[in-house]
Structure 1
Amino acid sequence: MTIRVIVADDQLVVRAGFAAVIGAEPDMTVVGEAGDGAAAVQLAEQTAPDVVVMDIRMPDMDGLTATRLLTARGEKPRVLVLTTFDLDAYVYEALRVGASGFLLKDAEPDDLLDAIRVVAEGDGVLAPGVTRRLIHSFAGGAPPVAPGGTLDGLTPREREVLQLIGTGLNNTEIGERLGVATGTVKSHVNALLGKLGLRDRVQATILAYDLGLVRPRMPPAH
């Protein structure tokens, strides 16, 4: 299957560069380029992309607003936010409005291409370290969730896996932490996503934070 991609960025040179990298892949095709969020939304209506690579700060309509409009429509397109602004508030808001992933523009080309493939397949991706910074930056967040409630249907192990997802660990790292095979972790992840009605592990990260399964910590004072 060829992954149909729109690139949205207000800088022409940057946009063209991303489009060239993506378009050179045999399993991808760039079906449109946009210089602002409104153009990206319009292009998505016309071309039915699988993935929109979306900048955040753009004129007229920013990437967050465009992401909200695009993701409100259903499963596709999925949005991969790509920005120079390594600011946790933007990360959190981008994920809040439905983005499936977040990468910085200084990511290696292969990382960008891999992220597009992951997002197109229905999973979520965060730049290395973003999850941990995201969680730690929101010090004093929601109190730990009481037993029951939203997590009623989860087994104790699934709840444990959800908590570890929230700390930013991948399946291999979770398996090492729990002393189980990576395949077993993947089964737990799929089960908890289904029970909680979550789209991917990105949404699971947000839920773990919201429910207080992960306790934010203040950065050390300087």
Structure 2
Amino acid sequence: MINIILAEDHHIVRLGLRHILMQEPEFQIVGEASNGQQVIDLLESNVNADVLLTDISMPQISGLELADIVNTRFPQINTLLLTMQEEEEYMFKAFRLGVKSYMLKSTDADELIFAIKQVARKRRYLCSSVADRLIKRLVLDNMPVSLPSPNIDFSVREIEVLQLIAEGYTNEEIAEKLFTSRRTVEGYRQSLINKTGTRNTATLIRFVMRHRIIE
């Protein structure tokens, strides 16, 4: 069971979020708050929570200030920000303050549920619309003239996995698309990193884009 504190100052929005979350059997809402101070009060009363779902724009204590406090004083709790703020400066600051996930309120319910499950496992998650925009700006828009394709022997399945990684799919989603297991996909991902001599998924994608290994 994933225990969630739901913090949102707009009552109707909070009701809508509660309705969405309560459809998921794994989720349990253990506290609700309409401002940042109420969240602190809940945590100080020893409410057992795994995830704090909150907005940036909150009365008394903002979502970013709240994330900093929670990360410092209650490190066992993982914070997910659900916000209208699309500016990258907010996102970067949020992750620096220990936020595990940054989601836009325009995201759909399925992705929000997926993000909460990732956050509960202490994994970072950035909503797909923002991630897609960042990839285009950081990789595609600033891509230099393509370099000669390196002499690396990729299998057909590795190229399929590589293409799906570049499109932003998670290991679980790739496994579903290719009718295989998540562990197998993780193995392909690590093999691709090893073959290209890159450090992580981000540098892997930059490498294959620059060398035009995939389009």
* 1:88-99 pair list within 5 angstroms: 88-99=88-99
SS of equivalent residue, structure 2 residue 18: helix
* 1:23-34 pair list within 5 angstroms: 23-34=22-33
**Counterparts in 2 of 1:91 and 1:120: CA distance versus 1, 3 Å:** same
Pairing 1:87–2:80 present: no
Q: Does the 8 Å CA contact 1:6/1:44 hold for their aligned counterparts?
A: no
For 1:123, the equivalent position in structure 2 comes to 123
Length-normalised TM-score, structure 1 = 0.62
Alignment length, in residue pairs? 164
**CA offset digits 1:78-125 (Å, max 9, x no partner):** 011101121211111111101100111121111111111111122111
Aligned partners of 1:38 and 1:63: how far apart in 2?
11
- Alignment-mate amino acid for residue 122 of structure 1: K
Aligned partners of 2:112 and 2:23: how far apart in 1?
13
**CA offset digits 1:158-192 (Å, max 9, x no partner):** xxxxxxx9x978556xxxxxxxx63225658xxxx
* 1:66-81 pair list within 5 angstroms: 66-73=66-73, 75-81=75-81
**Counterparts in 2 of 1:16 and 1:168: CA distance versus 1, 3 Å:** same
State the percentage of identical aligned residues.
30
**Counterparts in 2 of 1:18 and 1:183: CA distance versus 1, 3 Å:** same
For 1:155, the equivalent position in structure 2 comes to none
**Counterparts in 2 of 1:123 and 1:185: CA distance versus 1, 3 Å:** farther
Q: Does the 8 Å CA contact 1:88/1:133 hold for their aligned counterparts?
A: no
Alpha-carbon shift at residue 131 of structure 1 (Å): 3.3
- Alignment-mate amino acid for residue 41 of structure 1: I
For 2:111, the equivalent position in structure 1 comes to 111
For 1:42, the equivalent position in structure 2 comes to 41
For 1:63, the equivalent position in structure 2 comes to 63
- Alignment-mate amino acid for residue 59 of structure 1: P
Aligned partners of 1:129 and 1:20: how far apart in 2?
23
Alpha-carbon shift at residue 48 of structure 1 (Å): 2.2
**Counterparts in 2 of 1:20 and 1:133: CA distance versus 1, 3 Å:** same
Aligned partners of 1:34 and 1:184: how far apart in 2?
42
CA-based RMSD: 3.4
Greater than 3 Å deviation, 4+ residue runs = 131-138, 167-172, 185-188
- Alignment-mate amino acid for residue 182 of structure 1: V
Which protein is bigger by CA-based radius of gyration? 2
- Alignment-mate amino acid for residue 113 of structure 1: I
For 1:182, the equivalent position in structure 2 comes to 185
Length-normalised TM-score, structure 2 = 0.64
- Alignment-mate amino acid for residue 60 of structure 1: Q
For 1:11, the equivalent position in structure 2 comes to 10
- Alignment-mate amino acid for residue 129 of structure 2: G
